């Protein structure tokens, strides 16, 4: 284009000057192809450019696989790749055990009253209020009645999120009431344990629950009504030392931590290295402390078979 307008350095040819306006129009017309007439697309900020996947996936703590949460829920919160058992809430546990996930809760209104007015780094009453808000339960155990493959059943499921599933006076009272209701209605009993043991904020009152529940279970045994104890991760302390190990059938989930004192405390006491897998359910089964280690997805069928064997079907 420059050659068509300028014939020699510094001099314009007169005949070309007349063509200048039309030439510029032609150039501008061609330039229109590269001109943006509409507003530019607004580029979102970094947060908006990411795909929102919060809550859709979770990672297995054992094999580190990424699992779609709907698949995890469909498998009762058991990893479909490595069979790792995720910890679940008391109400999720009841939904797994009872037919169609339907059950009727009872004694839900019972709640600890802080009889000792205990305070450590935080007031016990404040801890209770915080636990109630976060779990939606008034205590660390949920009592319910329902049917398991058509068999009327009473179940107490512990809530580990409520102060570590610790056993206080109200937990002891609720489990005792569940035992007494099973006696009254002549139905089998299931207790699902997930606990760090007795609740230290209630001192001797929590320890008394061990004897209280054990005495109630003795009456159930005398009436020849089945009691199935399911031990989950973790089950330790005074819960292990009492009702968790008193079942007519004691079963556990795979790789569940079960014991009284923690492994570190035991190692420091005996000054020896503990064997691999110590206090895990498979180790306890091998040494005669459990009757079976059962995958969570098979609990209902397994327990029903034992109900049939015990003559309640």
CB atoms within 10 A of CB 184: 9
77 and 211 belong to one structural domain: no
Average pLDDT over residues 79-93: 96
145 and 64 belong to one structural domain: no
Residue 250 lies in a domain: yes
118 and 203 belong to one structural domain: yes
Asked which of 5-9, 18-22, 142-146, 198-202 is least confident by mean pLDDT, the reply is: 5-9
Last-in-domain residue among 67, 86, 105:
86
Residue 202 lies in a domain: yes
CB 111 within 8 A of CB 170: yes
The residue written with tokens 């709640």 in the block is 111
CB 225 within 8 A of CB 183: yes
DSSP, residue by residue, 116-161: T--BSSSBHHHHHHHHHHHHS-SSSEEEEEEEETTEEEEEEEE-TT
60 and 99 belong to one structural domain: no
3-state secondary structure (DSSP) of residue 192: strand
User: Residue 45: what pLDDT?
Assistant: 56
Q: Cis peptide before 234, with omega less than 30 degrees from 0?
A: yes
- Does residue 213 register a pLDDT over 80? yes
What's the CATH code of the domain at 226?
Answer: 3.90.226.10
Measured in Å, how far apart are the chain's first and last C-alpha atoms?
99
The set of residues, in sequence order, having a beta carbon less than 8 Å from that of 292 and lying 6+ positions away, is 249, 251, 252, 285, 302
Q: What is the pTM (predicted TM-score) of this model?
A: 0.82
106 and 178 belong to one structural domain: yes
User: What is the residue-averaged pLDDT of the chain?
Assistant: 89
Average pLDDT over residues 207-234: 97
* pLDDT band at residue 81 under the 50/70/90 scheme: very high
275 and 251 belong to one structural domain: yes
146 and 104 belong to one structural domain: yes
74 and 104 belong to one structural domain: no
Residue 265 lies in a domain: yes
Model confidence pLDDT, tens digit, residues 40-54 = 666 555 555 555 556
75 and 209 belong to one structural domain: no
Q: How far apart are CA 168 and CA 218, in angstroms?
A: 20
Give the tokens for residue 135. Answer: 């779990």
Beta bridge partner(s), residue 78 = 85
Model confidence pLDDT, tens digit, residues 157-202 = 999 999 999 999 999 999 999 999 999 999 999 999 999 999 999 9
Residue 9 lies in a domain: no
Residue 29 lies in a domain: no
Model confidence pLDDT, tens digit, residues 100-145 = 999 999 999 999 989 899 999 999 999 999 999 999 999 999 999 9
Provide the number of structural domains found in the chain: 2
How would you class 78 by CB atoms within 10 Å of its CB: exposed for 0-12, middle for 13-18, buried for 19 or more?
buried
Residue 284 lies in a domain: yes
78 and 221 belong to one structural domain: no
Residue 11 lies in a domain: no
252 and 220 belong to one structural domain: yes
Higher pLDDT, 3 or 52: 52
Residue 79 belongs to domain spanning? 56-86
134 and 79 belong to one structural domain: no
């Amino acid at each position: 284009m420059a050659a068509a307008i300028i014939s020699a350095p510094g001099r314009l040819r007169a005949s070309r000057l007349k063509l200048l306006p039309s030439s510029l129009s032609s150039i501008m017309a061609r330039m229109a192809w590269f001109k943006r007439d509409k507003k530019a697309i607004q580029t979102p900020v970094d947060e908006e450019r990411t795909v929102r996947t919060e809550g859709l996936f979770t990672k297995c703590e054992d094999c580190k696989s990424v699992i779609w949460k709907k698949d995890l829920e469909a498998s009762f919160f058991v990893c479909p790749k490595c069979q790792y058992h995720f910890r679940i809430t008391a109400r999720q546990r009841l939904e797994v055990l009872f037919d169609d996930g339907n059950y009727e809760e009872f004694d839900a209104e019972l709640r600890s009253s802080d009889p000792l007015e205990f305070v450590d780094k935080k007031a016990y009453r404040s801890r209770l209020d915080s636990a109630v808000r976060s779990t939606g339960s008034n205590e660390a155990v949920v009592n319910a009645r329902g049917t398991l493959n058509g068999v009327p059943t009473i179940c107490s499921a512990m809530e580990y999120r409520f102060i570590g599933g610790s056993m206080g006076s109200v937990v002891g009272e609720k489990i005792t009431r569940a035992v007494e209701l099973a006696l009254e209605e002549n139905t089998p009993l299931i207790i699902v344990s997930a606990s760090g043991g007795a609740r230290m904020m209630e001192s001797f009152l929590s320890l008394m629950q061990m004897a209280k529940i054990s005495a109630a279970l003795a009456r159930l045994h005398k009436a020849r009504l089945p009691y199935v104890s399911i031990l989950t991760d973790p089950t330790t302390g005074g819960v292990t030392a009492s009702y968790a190990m008193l079942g007519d059938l004691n079963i556990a989930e795979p790789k569940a931590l079960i014991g009284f004192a923690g492994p570190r405390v035991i190692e420091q006491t005996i000054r020896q290295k503990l064997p691999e897998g110590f206090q895990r359910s498979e180790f306890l089964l091998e040494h005669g402390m459990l009757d079976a280690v059962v995958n969570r997805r098979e609990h209902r069928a397994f327990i029903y078979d034992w109900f049939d064997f015990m003559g309640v079907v």
